[in-house]
Amino acid sequence: MKGYWKDEKATSETIIDGWLHTGDIATIAEDGFITITGRKRN
Cα separation, 26 vs 15, in Å, equals 19
Q: How far is CA 9 from the centre of its chain?
A: 15
Query: What's the pLDDT tens digit per position in 20-36?
Result: 999 999 999 999 999 99
Domain count, the chain: 1
Task: State pTM to two decimals.
Answer: 0.64
Cα separation, 35 vs 21, in Å, equals 17
Domain-embedded: residue 3: no
Query: What's the pLDDT tens digit per position in 9-21?
Result: 999 999 999 999 9
Query: Residue 41: which pLDDT band, with cuts at 50, 70 and 90?
Result: confident
Report CA torsion sign: 29, 1, 10, 14: positive
Give 19's contacts (C-beta < 8 A, 6+ positions apart).
none
Domain that holds residue 29: 8-39
Domain-embedded: residue 1: no
Cα separation, 24 vs 39, in Å, equals 5
